[in-house]
């Protein structure tokens, strides 16, 4: 099946700094990718839909100026957490659909962000 | 998007068959039912997807009654490694639709 990777797998940063997380579709081109956030013992919450070559669509309550999304190519979407604070510590997961495949979305392995 | 309801947790033993039922009373005509599995600190993994009747693959079966208001994921002969959270999702079948994850079912398989 299609493979989606994320980098880094985990990151620790200081409060006030920015962190970039990459999401790549390794063997297919994805015009649309999705970013989720998952807090401990909770379900995944959709943050935004990333569209190649256009602006991302953010879910209600997600600050677009804080969570910058760039989808500059058909295989790469990035999520930048700007001016991170401890409450941004979470598990960030991206997903993408393989246009050549069936209807399922493929998820990346996730990135654990810890803000100290 | 159709809301789903599934048990918060289930317990089983190795070698048993596990059936997890999901209710989705407001499913739309163009909605598909998809199940994902998630291990701690990993992204969800696709298990199976169906529209109606029965779908079977190498890891699970999905049973969907005629009214499509519910579905049952069947895991045959579970092992310890099947301990995970299982999510039932309902969304249009294009694959580009946003997915709304419910609370999922935490399945614990014991020796």
Q: Dihedrals φ, ψ of A87, to 5°? A: -70, -10
- Best A104, A106, A108 member to test B by mutation, with max B CBs in 10 Å, is A104
pLDDT at A15 over 60: yes
Residue B1 has pLDDT above 60, yes or no: no
Alpha carbon of residue B93 to chain centroid: 16
Nearest Cα to Cα of residue B71 among B90, B99, B47: B90
Tell me the average pLDDT across A13-33.
Answer: 94
B70 neighbors B23 (Cβ within 8 angstroms): yes
Q: Mean pLDDT over all residues of chain B?
A: 93
For residue A98, the model assigns a pLDDT of 75
**Cβ-based contacts of B102 with chain A (< 8 Å):** 43
Q: Does B93 touch chain A (CB under 8 A)?
A: yes
Which backbone phi and psi does B80 adopt, to 5 degrees? -55, -35
Is the per-residue pLDDT at B28 higher than 60?
A: yes
Q: Which tokens sit at A72? A: 């500059």
Give me the total of CB pairs closer than 8 Å, taking one residue from chain A and one from chain B. 58
A61's tokens:
């309550």
Q: Say if the Cβ atoms of A32 and B103 lie within 8 Å.
A: no
- To the nearest whole Å, the CA of A107 is away from the closest chain B CA by 6
| A68 touching chain B per CB within 8 A | no
pLDDT at B2: 61
pLDDT band with cut points at 50, 70 and 90 for residue B92: confident
Q: What is the CA radius of gyration of chain A?
A: 13
B residues 3-32 closer than 8 Å to A (CB): 32
Which tens digit of pLDDT belongs to each residue from A40-57? Answer: 999 999 999 998 888 899
**pLDDT at residue B105 tops 90:** yes
Interface contact B41-A110, CB threshold 8 A: yes
Across A80-94, A97-111, B32-46, B63-77, least confident range: A97-111
**How is residue A29 written in tokens?**
């081109």
Q: Work out the percent of chain B whose per-residue pLDDT is above 70.
A: 95
Find the mean pLDDT for residues A81-98.
95
Question: If you average pLDDT over residues A2-17, what whole number do you get?
Answer: 96
B87: chain A residues, CB-CB within 8 Å? 43-44
Helix, strand or coil for residue B80? helix
Phi, psi of A88 (to 5 degrees): -85, -10
pLDDT at A38: 97
């Amino acid at each position: 099946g299609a493979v989606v990777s994320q980098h880094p797998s985990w990151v620790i940063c200081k409060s006030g700094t920015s962190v970039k997380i990459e999401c790549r579709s390794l063997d297919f081109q994805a015009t649309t990718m999705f970013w989720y956030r998952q807090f401990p013992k909770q379900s995944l919450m959709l943050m935004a839909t990333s569209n190649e070559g256009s602006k991302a669509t953010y879910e209600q309550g997600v600050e677009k100026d804080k969570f910058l999304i760039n989808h500059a190519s058909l295989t790469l979407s990035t999520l930048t957490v700007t001016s991170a604070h401890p409450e941004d510590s979470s598990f960030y997961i991206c997903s993408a659909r393989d246009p050549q495949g069936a209807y399922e979305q493929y998820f990346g392995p996730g990135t654990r962000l810890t803000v100290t | 998007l159709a809301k789903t309801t599934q048990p918060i947790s289930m317990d089983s033993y190795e070698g048993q068959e596990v059936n997890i039922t999901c209710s989705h009373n407001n499913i739309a005509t163009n909605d598909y039912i998809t199940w994902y599995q998630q291990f701690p600190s990993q992204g969800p993994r696709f298990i199976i997807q169906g529209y109606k009747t029965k779908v079977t693959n190498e890891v699970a079966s999905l049973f969907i009654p005629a009214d499509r208001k519910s579905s049952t994921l069947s895991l045959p002969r579970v092992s310890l490694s099947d301990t995970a959270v299982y999510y039932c999702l309902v969304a249009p079948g294009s694959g580009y639709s946003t997915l709304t994850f419910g609370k999922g079912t935490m399945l614990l398989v014991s020796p």
